[in-house]
Amino acid sequence: MRFIALAFLALVGCTGRNDTERLSRSIDSLSSEIARLRIDLNYRDSTREKKILPPNDTTPRAIVRVEHKPPRIIKKDTLQVKQKEKPQNVDTLIYRFAGGGVSVKVLPWVDSKQLIEIYSLQGEVVITLENINLSYHVSNTLHFRSDGSLERVNEHFNPGASMYWYDTVIHFEPDNEPAWKITYQNPPKGIEDSMGEKYLWDRSQKCWVKQEIVIETIQPSTP
């Protein structure tokens, strides 16, 4: 209404025809603008009054249940270490003289050791030997005469943590008394090792006596 009044006053104050037409066009333009503003204002008011409701989604949905399975325990394969086989226990082996007396007894293995007893014709133990199967190794091979007496023994000794090993040959009398033995070191370091170490058996003391090599030197005679 304020715009209409201003337009009316302007119309009254104008005396020229051109001015009248110009004012008429201005009034029409103002009326159109006022109408547009009213429409815009009413639209904004109506928009504010509207309530936006969330969509009512009644579509049924499938329920997915997730089952938690316990973790799978993978058992590692147990490494089975095969232990060194120990010699089986057997009965005592008995070798006899031709007359029936005991010549040699080979006893069963005990704690990786095997005892060998050598008897005289009188039935007494003269000497004992031993087979050993530990970190070091000792083995004895027996050789008999036709009358059942022990002729010789081949003994092999391997210390284990060494670059050398030793072989010994023991000779016996017909009554199973030891006679002499010789031991070789392999591989030999020199000529003396290749010749071996010699021992004689002392019957009275029942022990071995090492044979020493005596080198004699001839002194030149003085004139």
Rounded Cα gap, residues 214 and 52, in angstroms: 128
Cβ burial, residue 166 (10 Å; 0-12/13-18/19+): middle
Rounded Cα gap, residues 107 and 128, in angstroms: 11
The gap from C-alpha 199 to its chain's centroid, in whole angstroms, comes to 50
Torsion of CA 121, 127, 133, 137, to 10 degrees: -120
- Residue-range domain boundaries for the chain: 2-40, 93-210
pLDDT of residue 86: 47
pLDDT of residue 23: 73
pLDDT of residue 193: 74
pLDDT of residue 68: 60
Series of mean pLDDT values for 10-residue runs along the chain (223 residues): 49 56 76 80 66 54 60 49 47 94 96 96 96 95 96 94 91 96 89 86 93 65 60
pLDDT of residue 19: 66
